[in-house]
Structure 1
């Protein structure tokens, strides 16, 4: 019925409800109820609009649904997936960043006709004393003043940071204080402010805590009944030094045919978190754990994530196991998926596994399970050969790690290294994810797939153009580009700086990976079937996949009602969980920007080397060797007048002919590190040859 309504509105610009019902031959009371429900669903999905009289199609041309960005004192920009339109602030109700609105565009004017949802409800800022009264200033300039209704209820002091909640969207914005965060220079307050500003759920409500009180602290014998008992199977976890939640463990056995049997054991979170219970509802709202410099904001309470669901050594744990057989070349030749109970023999770390594989005598405590680690490494090499052969695109990206002191100040920063043991685990987890996705697809069971669609040829053309500018041979055809074409091109680049730049541009040309109830394949991994199964402690889509495995594979509840319920559940959750993942990335980047400016603020006047990582009409960005990035603004380049060429992404001096382009290694001086703006400004000194 949805498609029929949309097609009618494509043909007829606007229609009364009765006219639509008549065209669809809606006659009975039951049909009419379904008709009304469908209209409401289409409105909720931002596909049609009801102006209280007639329905119109939100076509992206005359009617545009999108998010607001406050771009200047005079106008708002409204972005949808494909375009943006500008709306004058004159005569418009107060809008704010991230408001979700409907815009009507005519020849006479462009106006906002509906506000679907407010993007800003809580605002973080600080109080400043001005003329014997306290004024609230938001951390992000919202182009408005504030009227705080409950200041008298709090003992305010200069520099106190607070969270205020909007009561009325008008000028001045009417708000009330809902939380005092502490003084702005207090350890962790700045990070808390960013989390709060981005509506991150940082506390668990009483009903969630009460539900946690019912969670057992250990596994009972009765809970093991019917499960595969793998407690005598040599099993280890391999994670980072600071990891506290272990949701995956591995076991490896050498087979007589020269191949291997790989067991990937994943914490059975679905056993402890039932669909619709308070813990589950809160986990769904969070969508994912968020990892920032000084803390983890977990998807699940610590009693689960660090307790009964964490695959700690020397304790029984309930798991779902994906058991896979591989031949001597690393090709999967068989598999089974089942519920199990394991007992991890050791908690290994990436660093020590790398050290052991290089020199077994250097890590005495790993000798007991060293032969298994060696076989795991041998298997991983074969899996990696399969990965390379199919064309998995390996993007060169830098991930910073900040070392903080007791006051929450960064005292060091380094780029996280990705060693062979990390690659081993990645190969094992991808293999398990592919296997589980294959099982769901083969039997047409409902699933939550991790999809990555083909890139836009126009965006890929920018990679080809840049490769030409940087004198890198490139045979990519943007109109017929397979993943292996991009993978081989990036692998062929010898210069590391050039490789990093082109990898970054290639990454930006890709579509965003997302979650979908449809299996659309994963372009970046060059896979036809893929899902997330291996991290249910920190990702809700993985928890959903576990439920689908339990319901449809293990318990075989495949009646039409259950299948339809789960298909609808997957469809409804996909959009929300994709957005929560994007929100988490935004927050993590914001905190990294904060720590970067804090780290550089006492280095003003110092010299650093780096690579030009971006060129714009207003200057160029330089990425230092420690991954920190800053801007050399054109207004500071007083030696010449520089012209920006968008096609070549270069700045060229009119008099000197000096050219600034991507990949050039330069020396810069730190001239400013603004913590409130989270921005670093450099001055160009010289090229480095």
Structure 2
């Protein structure tokens, strides 16, 4: 077979030259493939079918899915049995899958769909014709047993179908317990999936079991294999003298870490020096994880599998064994640590004049918290300043530099969604004491600005040298989403300019400033955020729209993000005497696309698990407040009801339309509001209401409220 023939050439051939479905012999003839290589060609075709890039039709012929009215994509199921498959052809093009056509697939599966008709307005409808990739090998749920049969009810309601458990596959599970079942047979048109109980997590309702349920539900690796722990135990706990060779000595530089109160792994340390004439030099030293975790070793393979650390209230599922993440790789105070340092010089306008990168050895002078830094540079706490008298002047220089960097980023159009997050306060026993809106101080923004500056500097350095790397990219929102957003803005006499079909981040930031303090501010912020695409990792540098940055990567958190570790390795090679060879560039170009896809998927998985655990904790907390009344603000509106965020606790619940018995309420989608048919009463984002906690569903992670000021319906005339 020609060396030039590969997967990409096959796809290009089907895209440009295949005017009808072709069999393997037809493809071989068109591409000049000899008989010796026909078997290899067939393997490539079968691989493309497995991936959903091609479909195999009757008679063994192949074609691109879209050319035969088929679509491949990921199935997203709804708990009511129907689902959607994204066609990948742009926003608003999801294929609706009726429940009767989804029986053989499960939520998250990669499927091939035949588009048949559109009975839902302008939304196409289809049926699943083939499952090309299974998302689940196990299911976690509640075990139920009767005299004749047993089954597992999945904890994730989107999985829908109960898993049948044969008599000899039940292990020691008892009715009502939460178990993990291995899937031995997937669902078919007439049969539920079948499985074997492989682990009993414990009793339903146990808080620890609930956490384990979410961990298993999302497939999070939460135990390190024994051989990985052994490999970690062999790494020295202290920096050895011979490891200092070839490193710049920054141990005398006044360097500090600034993190949250509960942080245990410290990726980054910072230092500054005022060099006069408005110039400030910044050192961002990042844990040199790559020195200890070598590409392809046991620890590295496990880290790649995990992709990221996952943070739950009161616990962490780390990417690296704790001996590394909290030990030798963590930039703990008053001990020598190896780092990869970005040294940058900025002028009085926050413009980067110089940047230099090198391996270093540092000794952090102090482990500071955001609260301590706030006390010193914002509130002027004299006692705190006195305790850190040697550090305080450096913090003031840091504050000046951070303000300049922030102002410059703002001027270029970077969008700042300063969205609050829930902070769950636990007591010493791990029980929930309170749920509050997380505070963000300037100390948070200070570190954020320094990390952004280092990330941009590294991306620019490697980009200028045309070295392949994983960029952190954020594509512009789709024209369809922006058009919908513009329709909403018209109702508030607001406008958003569009240039050649695209919106600029600068104009979105100006809009946020324009609505600041207005009643519709919350709504505009939320709808704008939903219009945005999700950032991801990719070797293709398309820029970062939200940051208005042409070059951006993640460099600053290699303890907890695998892409940062990849960037460290690439940077170290680029800093070598010979730079990055052409052969190495080719190798990176070959492996980075898949690496970007996998680490982006792992990031999404972690985010979903973190959201689920926070939702569970909120439900457990609000169970104690059933029947109580609270003041709240409408935070979102849908056709089925509106969400209310409580003012006392940072918790959100749903007021269902079905509970509004004083009128017929209709959803005005373009204005994001519900309006009464007769009373003309309106519910929209930002409205103040009083609600009573009516019901909490732990299994579905839902909190239901009812209005307390609902007017009784008047009698019909």
Interval containing the TM-score (normalised by the shorter chain):
over 0.9
Instruction: Please list every run of 5 or more consecutive structure 2 residues that lacks an aligned counterpart in the other structure.
Output: 119-124, 711-717
Partner in structure 2 of residue 653 of structure 1: 676
Contact 1:261 1:324 in 2 (8 A): yes
Q: Please state if 1:98 is matched with 2:103.
A: no
8 Å contact kept, 1:237–1:346: yes
Q: Check the 8 A contact 1:259/1:329 in 2, yes or no.
A: no
What is the CA–CA distance in structure 1 between the aligned matches of 2:169 and 2:46, rounded to whole Å?
44
Shift of 1:40: 5.7
Question: What is the aligned partner in structure 1 of residue 233 from structure 2?
Answer: 213
Distance across 2 between alignment mates of 1:398 and 1:93 = 40
Matches of 2:22 and 2:165 in 1, distance apart? 45
**Residue 200 of structure 1 aligns to a residue in which SS?**
coil
**Residues 112-123 of structure 1: matches in 2 within 5 Å?**
112-123=128-139
Whether the aligned pair in 2 keeps the contact of 1:264 and 1:432 (CA below 8 Å) is: yes
Post-superposition offset of 1:228: 0.6
Per the TM alignment, residue 76 of structure 1 is displaced from its structure 2 partner at its CA by: 4.9
* Displacement after TM superposition at 1:176 (Å): 1.3
- Closer, same or farther: CA 455–292 of 1 in aligned 2, 3 Å: same
Q: Tell whether 2:336 aligns with 1:303.
A: no
Structure-1 residue corresponding to 2:14: 9
Distance 1:154 1:288 in 2: 33
Residues 377 and 75 of structure 1: is their aligned pair in 2 closer, same or farther, counting only changes over 3 Å?
A: closer
- Return closer, same or farther for 1:152/1:542 CA change in 2, 3 Å cut-off: closer
Query: For residues 496 and 350 of structure 1, do their structure 2 counterparts lie closer, same or farther at Cα, with a shift above 3 Å needed?
Result: farther
Distance 1:61 1:502 in 2: 41
Whole-Å separation in 2 of the counterparts to 1:588 and 1:279:
24
Give the deviation of 1:152 after TM superposition.
Answer: 7.6
How far has the Cα of 1:275 moved from its partner? 0.9
Q: Distance between the aligned counterparts of 2:577 and 2:321, measured in 1?
A: 28
SS across alignment from 2:143: strand
Structure 1 residues 563-582: aligned runs within 5 Å: 563-582=585-604
- Give 1:637's match in structure 2, choosing from 657, 660, 663: 660
Say if 1:238 and 1:425, in contact at 8 Å, map to a contact too.
Answer: yes
The change in CA–CA distance for 1:194 and 1:257 in structure 2 (over 3 A counts) is same
Distance in 2 of aligned mates of 1:561 and 1:669: 65
Moved more, 181-190 or 300-309: 181-190
Q: How has the CA–CA distance of structure 1 residues 178 and 682 changed in structure 2, closer, same or farther, with 3 Å as cutoff?
A: same
Q: Aligned pair in 2 of structure 1 residues 496, 110: CA closer, same or farther (>3 Å)?
A: closer
Partner of 1:427: 449
Are residues 1:417 and 2:439 paired?
yes
Q: When the two structures are superposed, what TM-score results if normalisation uses the length of structure 2?
A: 0.90
- Cα distance in structure 2, aligned partners of 1:215 and 1:248: 21
Q: CA RMSD in A?
A: 2.6
Q: Pick the aligned partner of 2:186 from 151, 169, 174.
A: 169
Name whichever of 64-73 and 477-486 sits farther off: 64-73
Which of 510, 514, 517 lines up with 1:488 in the alignment? 510
Q: 1:308 to 1:149 in 2, by over 3 A?
A: farther
* Structure 1 residue 91, shift from structure 2 partner: 8.2
Q: Output aligned runs, 1:317-328, within 5 Å.
A: 317-328=337-348
Distance 1:61 1:386, change over 3 A: farther
Change (3 A) 1:50 1:418: same
1:90-119 CA-partner distances (Å, limit 9, x unpaired): 587632111211223468995534322212
8 Å CA contact retained: 2:150, 2:165: no
CA distance in 2, matches of 1:304, 1:63: 48
8 Å CA contact 2:149, 2:166 repeated in 1: no
Q: Aligned in 2, Cα 1:584/1:660: closer, same or farther, shift over 3 Å?
A: same
How far is 1:128 from its partner?
4.5
Q: Which of residues 309, 314, 332 is equivalent to 1:294?
A: 314
Deviates more, 1:623-632 or 1:76-85: 76-85
Distance 1:532 1:124 in 2: 34
Residues 89 and 632 of structure 1: CA distance in aligned 2, closer, same or farther (over 3 Å): closer
User: What secondary structure sits across from 1:254 in the alignment?
Assistant: strand
Distance in 1 between the 2:691 and 2:474 partners? 38
Is the 8 Å Cα contact of residues 142 and 179 (structure 2) preserved in structure 1?
Answer: yes
- Aligned to 1:515, the other structure's residue is in SS state strand
What is the CA-CA distance between 1:493 and the residue it aligns to?
2.0
Per the alignment, in what secondary structure is the counterpart of residue 95 of structure 2? strand
Per the alignment, residue 662 of structure 1 pairs with: 685
Mapping for residues 322-401 of structure 1, pairs under 5 Å? 322-357=342-377, 358-359=379-380, 361-363=382-384, 364-401=386-423
Report Cα offsets for 1:520-565 as digits up to 9, x if no partner: 1101001010000000000000000001011222353422221101
Task: Identify the range of structure 1 (170-179 vs 331-340) with the bigger mean alpha-carbon deviation.
Answer: 170-179
Native 8 Å contact 1:317 1:341 kept in 2 = yes
In 2, Cα distance between the equivalents of 1:280 and 1:7? 35
TM-score by length of 1: 0.93
In structure 1, stretches of 5+ residues that fail to align are none
* Per-residue Cα deviation, 1:590-612 (whole angstroms, up to 9, x for no partner): 11111111111121222222222
Deviation at 1:189, TM superposition (A): 1.3
Cα shift readout 1:633-678 (whole Å, capped 9, x = no counterpart): 1110010111222222221111111111222222222111111111
Structure 1 residue 140 corresponds to structure 2 residue 156: yes
Written as runs of structure 1 = structure 2, the 5 A alignment for 1:181-580 is 181-357=201-377, 358-359=379-380, 361-363=382-384, 364-405=386-427, 408-469=430-491, 471=492, 473-477=494-498, 479-495=501-517, 498-554=520-576, 556-580=578-602
Aligned partners of 1:590 and 1:404: how far apart in 2? 17
- Give the whole-Å Cα distance in 2 for the aligned partners of 1:645 and 1:585: 31
1:680 aligns with 2:703: yes
TM superposition shift of 1:46: 2.9
Distance in structure 1 (CA, Å) of the matches to 2:567 and 2:265: 19
Corresponding residue for 1:179?
199
CA contact (8 A) 1:452 1:511 kept: yes
State the distance in 1 between where 2:427 and 2:203 align. 18
When structure 1 is superposed on structure 2, of 623-632 and 194-203 the one drifting more is 623-632
Distance (Å, rounded) in 1 between the aligned partners of 2:101 and 2:494: 55
Conserved in 2, the CA contact under 8 Å of 1:319 and 1:340? yes
> Would you say the 8 A contact 2:73–2:87 is kept in 1?
yes
